[in-house]
Structure 1
Amino acid sequence: MTKRKIATHPDWDRILRSRSAVSTIADENFQVTAPMAAEYPDHDSLCVLADGYSWLRCFPQSPHHIMTFMFDADGHVLQLWVDVCLDHGIDAAGLSWWDDLYLDIVVLPDGYLEMQNADELADALADRSITQVQFDLVHKEAQMLTTRLQSEYVSLMNYASVQRQHLLPLVADHL
């Protein structure tokens, strides 16, 4: 079984207040209980969640992945987090969801790329939470994404920055 995730992260106690549009956006009105940092080899600790930071979550036409661009308070892209999933959509309440297939890909602005949670994927296959067909789908999608991300990460980061600027006024209108 996949893990159904909701784009607004209602299960994260760390987030005190946020607003959401079709793509999750947070600005200076986004508050957290404590910053969250990520650690990557040969990189300084990277804060990816803090007051004033914003995330842009994109649900592309491909049903097998979603992309979350994480920005600092000044609007600089910190990282791209890609969730490989079985499917994604919007529920009756208008909230975006995805059926997570455990494997994630992280890309930093300098081009560093790392797979995350491969152990969770292997465990899910071993305990039959996912099927062999789903396991194979994850690897096929990850291979395609890795190739694409290695060649297109700069244009994706630029695209995300432009989209963030277009969407921020939409969130401001809902204050």
Structure 2
Amino acid sequence: MVDFTAHRVRQPLTVDFGGEALRLFDHGWRWIWAHPLEAPPGVVGDALTVLLDAAGQPLELYVDIHQSGGWDEAAGLPWIDDLYLDVAGLFGPGWQPRHLLLLDEDELAGAVARGELTGAQSAAIGRQADRVTGALKAGNYGPLCAVQDYLQSGAALS
């Protein structure tokens, strides 16, 4: 887990999220990253980012579909090789993800067209995004459960 709090920001960041204005960054807001410690080369996986407001309410989740990953000792942060496709969503009551969107399908298609990825790789990336979306809808997405446990454990910064 990487737990980042933005204590003071120059200007809040708001973006369009499927026709809904979504604030992503403001004073006192937190981003919590649940990334794999190690991801074997060539294996398609995922890494979660959860955004919480200053009161600790979960607002948004963002899942990067990736391959390979690890820990950068010099930076003290995890890294992944992003595979273009992402799953994003807003939170409803009780940490229930809602309004899930698949993002950057055009970037994935472009990578295939440029020969950076094969059709088989693209299909594997799509299957991983489908697994993530299904687990989020079912309420059993492991990384999200880990973030909730982390926050409930009291080990998290307040």
Smaller-chain TM-score bracket? 0.7 to 0.9
1:55 and 2:42 aligned:
no
Provide the rounded CA distance (Å) in 2 between the counterparts of 1:52 and 1:108: 19
Provide the rounded CA distance (Å) in 1 between the counterparts of 2:38 and 2:4: 25
2:2/2:77 contact within 8 Å kept: no
Provide the rounded CA distance (Å) in 1 between the counterparts of 2:141 and 2:67: 26
Segment of structure 1 superposing worse, 154-163 or 104-113: 154-163
TM-score (structure 2 length as normaliser) = 0.78
* 1:1-150 → structure 2 map (5 Å cutoff): 23-27=1-5, 29=7, 31-41=8-18, 43=20, 45-60=21-36, 63=39, 64-93=45-74, 94-110=76-92, 111-150=98-137
Structure 1: unaligned runs, 5 residues or longer: 1-22, 170-175
TM-score (structure 1 length as normaliser) = 0.71
Give the alignment's Cα RMSD to 1 decimal: 2.6
Structure number with higher relative contact order (C-alpha < 8 Å, ≥ 6 residues apart): 1
> Which residue of the partner structure matches residue 168 of structure 1?
157
Task: Report how many aligned residue pairs link the two structures.
Answer: 145
